């Protein structure tokens, strides 16, 4: 653990020390890397060099006056991947899932496989939920937790929430045609009671040329916290498995007729 300058900003990073393929965990909004490292990273570090970093304004990384944009988050992630020095698997939750997809579109050579958990292509992909409160006991508890990690202290918590809510309401602006350009093997995951619409997750899966889908029963948007052992097993099996699964009754993965392949 330490500090690394990413896109010109001092950033808290955790680079794994074990051998194996690189795997980078990308945390969600209003969150940090700590939970992912504990719940998922610890279950995968025997096979992978698991690394993570706290994006600007999150966790142990200080904020700046600039607004939050997913494209800037992708730029941070690309800088981190270049620091690691080789392509990596990306496991992203919520905002981290969006960032993972943007990185794959911008720098496909830096990505091996993708796991996108509860990600959305546009604000329309989210269920209508009660807005995150800016006052009251729920906010006070979150601000206290935020301040325990952030160099900016609890007094900056409200600014981060405001910037995050603006981001959630206006970005990203991707569509299914964009996803057709993501040719990496990609696992789309979500809870069966996810705040990302289930129809949206299915549409994302269908749009990906090499997509797989896992809807975890009895879970919500924070499925990685609620079902960490099951999620880690599904992620591990996906990362180790064939890039194109061989099933007994293929339908969506059925090979086209030989004449269409130029045979």
Domain hosting residue 30, numbered range: 2-242
Q: Is residue 252 part of a domain?
A: no
Q: How many domains does the chain have?
A: 1
Please state, in angstroms and as integers, the Cα–Cα distance from residue 179 to each residue in 9, 150, 205, 208, following that order. 30, 34, 9, 5
Q: Is residue 250 part of a domain?
A: no
What is the pTM for the complete model shown?
0.95
Residue 252 pLDDT greater than 70, yes or no? yes
Note the pLDDT tens digit of each residue in 84-103: 999 999 999 999 999 999 99
173: CATH: 3.40.50.1820
Q: Beta partners for 115?
A: 91, 187
DSSP H or E run through 237: helix 228-240
Q: Is residue 125 part of a domain?
A: yes
Q: How far apart are CA 37 and CA 52, in angstroms?
A: 8
Q: How far apart are CA 253 and CA 227, in angstroms?
A: 28
Tell me the average pLDDT of the chain: 95
pLDDT of 255 reads 59
Average pLDDT over residues 188-202: 98
pLDDT of 1 reads 85
Average pLDDT over residues 4-20: 95
Structure tokens at 86: 């080789």
Note the pLDDT tens digit of each residue in 106-149: 999 999 999 999 999 999 999 999 889 999 999 999 999 999 99
Placement of tokens 């919520």 in the chain: 94
Q: Is residue 205 part of a domain?
A: yes
């Amino acid at each position: 653990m330490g500090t690394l300058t990413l896109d010109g900003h001092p950033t808290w990073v955790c680079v794994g020390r074990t051998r194996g393929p690189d795997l980078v965990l990308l945390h969600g909004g209003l969150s940090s890397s700590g939970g992912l490292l504990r719940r998922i990273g610890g279950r995968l570090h025997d096979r992978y060099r698991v690394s993570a970093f706290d994006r600007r304004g999150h966790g142990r990384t200080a904020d700046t006056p600039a607004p939050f944009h997913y494209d800037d988050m992708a730029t941070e992630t690309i800088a981190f991947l270049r620091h690691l020095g080789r392509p990596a698997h990306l496991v992203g939750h919520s905002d981290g899932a969006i960032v993972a997809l943007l990185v794959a579109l911008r720098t496909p050579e830096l990505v091996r496989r993708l796991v996108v958990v509860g990600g959305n292509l546009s604000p329309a992909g989210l269920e209508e939920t009660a807005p995150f409160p800016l006052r009251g006991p729920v906010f006070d508890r979150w601000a206290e937790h935020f301040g325990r990690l952030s160099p900016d202290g609890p007094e900056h918590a409200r600014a981060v929430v405001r910037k995050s809510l603006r981001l959630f309401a206006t970005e990203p602006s991707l569509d299914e045609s964009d996803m057709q350009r993501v040719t990496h093997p990609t696992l789309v995951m979500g809870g069966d009671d996810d705040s990302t619409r289930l129809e949206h997750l299915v549409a994302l899966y269908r749009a990906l040329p090499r997509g797989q889908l896992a809807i975890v029963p009895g879970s919500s948007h924070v499925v990685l916290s609620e079902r960490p052992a099951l999620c880690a097993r599904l992620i591990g099996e996906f990362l180790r498995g064939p890039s194109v699964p061989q099933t007994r009754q293929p339908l969506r993965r059925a090979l086209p007729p030989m004449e269409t392949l130029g045979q």
